[in-house]
Amino acid sequence: MFNIKALEKDGSYFWTNHSKHKLLQYGLSPGLVKKVINHPERVERGIASDTTASMIRKDGKKNKKEIWVMHQKQTKNRRKIKIISAWIYPGMSPKGKEIFIPEDAWKEIK
């Protein structure tokens, strides 16, 4: 497992409380989330204003799933990326359609 407090010292990324919770909930590592942002297989416009949703597939022998990350470039520091949420979508999500964002993620965005 990883140290949540170590995320606060990450100079290139700002992790919201919601995103930290989702890492623990889904068992995702910070490295995997960064990989999704830096090397996505698919990118969609996020539901919230000025956000991007990036995805990579993680298919196993029995299960197909997608790892999604909603993120935003910071307005003050364009090099810093704000990670808003991360989740696992079972199966294959439809392309170009609205992506479901949990209610608690909306609170973090606002």
Q: Is residue 2 part of a domain?
A: no
Domain assignment present for 74: yes
In a domain, 3, yes or no: no
For 48-102, the pLDDT digits (tens) are: 788 899 999 998 888 899 999 999 987 676 678 999 999 998 888 877 766 566 6
In a domain, 1, yes or no: no
Report residue 74 as tokens. Answer: 């910071």
pLDDT score of 39: 96
* Predicted pLDDT of residue 102: 66
Domain membership of residue 37 as a residue range: 9-92+101-109
Q: What is the DSSP letter of 83?
A: E
- C-alpha distance from residue 61 to each of 4, 17, 58, 64, 83 (Å): 31, 33, 10, 8, 30
CA 87 to chain centre: 7
Total count of domains within the chain: 1
